[in-house]
Amino acid sequence: MSLRVLLASLPCLAFGLPAVAAPAMVPFNPKSPTVRAELQAVQSDTVEQFDPVARAKVLVAELPRRWSGTFVPSASGGSQTVQLELANVTSVGQMVVLTGTMTVGSVTTSVQGNLNAKSDQLDLLLLGDTTAAGIEPGGLFQGLQSFQLSNWEAPRLTNPGGKLMLNPAG
């Protein structure tokens, strides 16, 4: 006897009842109507109809190349104008790889980023020195709604970051 059967029969032995061994397997009938209905529901509910790889290709073709808006640092509150120009937009699987230039106030720097075609999450890195614009090097813009609203995540906890709001230009 296994230890599991002995432990299961322990309450029966305490009351003087005969021990009954538990069945080793639960009976499973794949042809029963209940099982068929559950399998049908699982198979139809979990199939994803969305194709993020195809959407990434559509985004490459349809994504505006020029964006304009404002950057508002959380600490000072004074807004600065922002111009973003995407020079190269390519798809790699479900990701859209972006390169270009961004002008914040009077400072222009190179940018590189990734846009997830499935979740619309954007990560945009500033590659040059942007200290003159009030943006510390080493941080990144992270958008959860593509380019519409992004948050500046500073490299240090002492910097509260800021908000970047962009709209297609022209």
Element (H, E) at 37: helix 33-45
Same domain? 160 vs 140: yes
- pLDDT (0 to 100) of residue 21: 57
Same domain? 10 vs 84: no
pLDDT tens per residue, range 77-110: 688 899 999 999 999 999 999 999 999 988 999 9
Dihedral (CA of 74, 78, 151, 148) sign: positive
| CA angle (133, 136, 139) in 5-degree steps | 120
Same domain? 76 vs 28: no
Number of structural domains the chain divides into: 2
Same domain? 31 vs 57: no
13: CB partners within 8 A, 6+ apart: 19
Same domain? 71 vs 38: no
Taking residue 164's Cβ as centre, other Cβ atoms within 10 Å add up to: 27
Give dist(CA 88, CA 98) in Å, integer.
Answer: 6
- pLDDT (0 to 100) of residue 24: 60
Q: Per DSSP, which regions of the chain are E strands?
A: 66-73, 80-92, 95-104, 107-116, 122-126, 140-143, 149-153, 162-168
Amino acid occupying residue 142: Q
Same domain? 148 vs 112: yes
φ, ψ dihedrals at 53, nearest 5°: -70, -45
Same domain? 39 vs 73: no
Same domain? 64 vs 17: no
Same domain? 41 vs 93: no
Same domain? 66 vs 12: no
CATH number, domain at 90?
Answer: 2.40.128.620
Same domain? 62 vs 106: yes
Same domain? 117 vs 160: yes
Taking residue 104's Cβ as centre, other Cβ atoms within 10 Å add up to: 21
Q: Within the chain, which residues score under 70 in pLDDT?
A: 1-28, 41-48, 77
Residue-number span of the structural domain to which 18 is assigned: 3-45
39: its two tokens: 């399998």
